[in-house]
Amino acid sequence: MLERNDYSRLLIDVEAGVGTVTLNRPDHGNAVDDAMHSELTRVFDAARRDERVRVVVLTGAGDTFCRGGDSGPDRTFTTHTGLTPIQEARLIIESLLDLDKPVIAAVNGDALGLGAILATLADVAFVVHSAHLGDRHVPGGVTAGNGSAALWPAIIGVNRTKYLLFEGALLTAAEAVDLGLAHEAVDEALPAALALAARWSARPPFALRSTKSVINLHLKEAAARALAPGLALEEQALAGPEFARRRSTEGTPTCSTSPAR
């Protein structure tokens, strides 16, 4: 069951077939700390198993969707699951791909690093006009292994993904829509997402879920090929000299997706 009392970093609301999951660290740009990272490993599976939920809406508290991994001085780089951080990272992506109910992202502000991955792996993403979306692992000295390098090629193509990740590009909402990483740029993301969720929650549930399962086979095939190697290389990069040098001279990038930094 998708129960609000089971989470400290996520707000949970289930109403009329729609389960709304809100990343809830607004004072930190909803950056993913150790507790939120661990909670993200189980929230999508809980939504999958909850018979009350037909559609999931994912959004952020305040005026940011998610600025990526928390790189603040209080980050302990531990987990609450007994898994390693890299194992958790893989579980987040795989559980999201395994969720056969529609996921609609209400991107109410910047979506960076892990935030960009969550937004772009949703089935539909409504992005406010002022938001930016991107993954800056490579400029930060780290392999972009935690989802974008593995899965964006299946969404937007190989060469476009190379350019975005090598460049560390931060896309505007309109650019994200043009590339196919988002569905629509809007003035307010959450109302648009909830309106669509209300329509889809009334659809025949087996037809909806089975159709999504077939479509997601393409992404699962990409994940099966590239996610584990990508995460292994990311872990190697985090322990390597390039990341250490960038961190010592510039500080840790705030849009990191990496669970270990």
- Average pLDDT on 103-116 reads 98
* Cβ within 8 Å of residue 108, ≥6 positions away: 59, 60, 62, 63, 64, 65, 128, 131, 188, 189, 190
* Closest to 139 measured CA to CA, from 235, 28, 255, 32: 255
Please name which of 126, 127, 144 lies closest in space to residue 135, comparing C-alpha atoms.
144
Q: What is the domain-level CATH number for residue 243?
A: 3.90.226.10
Domain membership of residue 198 (yes or no) is no
- Residue 257 lies inside a defined structural domain of this protein: no
Statement: residue 224 has pLDDT above 90: yes
Residue 194 located in a structural domain: no
Indicate whether 259 belongs to any domain.
no
Query: Domain of 59?
Result: 4-189+204-250
Q: Which residue has the tokens 């996520």?
A: 10
Identify the three-state secondary structure at position 133. Answer: strand
> Tokens 């997402």 sit at which residue?
193
How many Cβ atoms from other residues are within 10 Å of residue 213's Cβ? 13
The reply to whether 172 falls in a domain is yes
Whether the CB-CB separation of 260 and 79 falls below 8 Å is answered with no
Summarize pLDDT for 163-216 with one digit per residue, the tens.
Answer: 999 999 999 999 999 999 999 999 999 999 999 999 999 999 999 999 999 999
Average pLDDT over residues 79-90: 86
82 confidence band (pLDDT: 50, 70, 90): confident
> What is the overall mean pLDDT for the chain?
92
What strand order describes the sheet that includes 170-172?
111-112, 132-134, 170-172
Q: Is position 255 within any domain? A: no
The pLDDT score that the predictor gives to residue 45 is: 98
